[in-house]
Copies of this chain bind each other. A is one copy, B any other.
Amino acid sequence: MRIIDKQNLENIAAGAAVLGTGGGGDPHVGKLMAMAAIEKYGPVTLLSPQEVGDDDWVVSASMTGAPSILVEKIPSGTEVIRAFEAICEYSEKEIKAIYPIEIGGVNSIVPLVLGAITGLPVVDTDGIGRAFPELQMVTFHLAGLQSAPLSVADEKGNTLIVTGIDNQWNERIIRAALIAMGGSVMVCSNLMQGRVLKAEGIHHTLTLAEKIGETVHGLRHRNENPIAALVDVLEGKLLFEGKINNLLRRNAGGFTRGEVYFDGINRYQGKQAMISFQNEFLVATIDQQPVVTTPDLIMILDLETGFPITTEVLRYGNRAAIVAMPCDAKWRTEKGLQTAGPRYFGYDIDYIPLQV
């Protein structure tokens, strides 16, 4: 158990954006939300997973939708409270803690905002170990657990409770509804007891994000190569260094989708890289050969500062490193790859397990 203050928060936001692999929204938006909440309601308690009681009810809180819309439509904070109140009332459970459904810019921070407002602790465990675009892409789904009931709230005051027959139906229905609701909503889902979270979650990922954020922020003051330092803390691999020479990005089907193209620089001069994304970076190719695919993590980091560049802030001329990191072993199983491997997203390629 430890207290999350503004400095911890700043590091978590930066590190979560690195692990968010392009998705999860602009970390700056998330940070501003949480700073305001801590300012107003006081700091948040972070629990280690083992500190959660086996019988205690816990629920996730997250933003779902297109992150590029979120930047234009900053959540007011009231929608996450309404989503939380709706799931409490509907389930009639006394919820003891909140956890992040994924690690990604805004979605690592949303539970901390809710924790600050409600006074409930946040668990240092998430349901992916990275960020993924669809609601059923969580380790709980791999374990056969249902995400329903889910509560959904928008900034206008509309609230839904969704009880689909399976996790894919929840995704389909909520995606359709959130498009009608303006493109992004807050969701509480995967209400479960502590013993299940301990068995099926990915642990210590907020702390990992914080460590990554410390590295990113620390780099400002040193003369070190930022990319090498980050590859080291991520236990990842540098794939490419390049300059963005083309970007195709659109909002479609409730997601931010597109492709970003790089001309190689430094020792990658003369090579070309391309990354396809659907909220998150999903496939990286070098000279048209796939080199890393989902569910492994693909990150685009600013070459000078090491700061992550998310899908909605990518732009022509960015000089960046492409870095990869192996996903959690839960995603390398048959069901993991069926759920979030390259073929699920429509790419006609097999998963290439990243070796580091």
Chain A contacts to B: CB under 8 angstroms = 86, 90, 156-165, 169, 172-173, 175-177, 179-181
Contacts and interface: CB of A to CB of B under 8 A. Distances in A.
Contacts of A169: 156, 158
Given A158-B165, A159-B164, A176-B179, 4 more contacts: A90-B161, A156-B165, A157-B165, A173-B181
A33 B156 CA distance: 39
A163 B163 contact: no
19 contacts: A86-B163, A90-B90, A90-B161, A156-B165, A156-B169, A157-B165, A158-B162, A158-B163, A158-B165, A158-B173, A159-B163, A159-B164, A160-B161, A160-B173, A172-B181, A173-B177, A173-B180, A175-B180, A177-B180
Contact of A177 (B86, B156, B176): B176
Contacts of A162: 158-160
A160 B160 contact: yes
Nearest to A86: B163
A147 to B, nearest CB: 13
Nearest to A157: B165
Nearest to A180: B176
A36 B86 CA distance: 38
Q: Which 3 residue pairs are nearest across A and B when measured between Cβ atoms?
A: A176-B180, A161-B161, A157-B165
A169 B162 CA distance: 16
Contacts of A176: 176-177, 179-180
A155 to B, nearest CB: 11
Nearest to A170: B158
A175 B90 CA distance: 23
Contacts of A156: 165, 169
Contacts of A160: 160-163, 173
A157 B165 CA distance: 6
Nearest to A169: B158
A157 B163 CA distance: 9
Contact of A164 (B86, B158, B164, B172): B158
Contacts of A158: 162-165, 169, 173
A93 to B, nearest CB: 15
Contacts of A157: 165
Contacts of A175: 180
A181 B169 CA distance: 8
Contacts of A181: 172-173
A197 B172 CA distance: 35
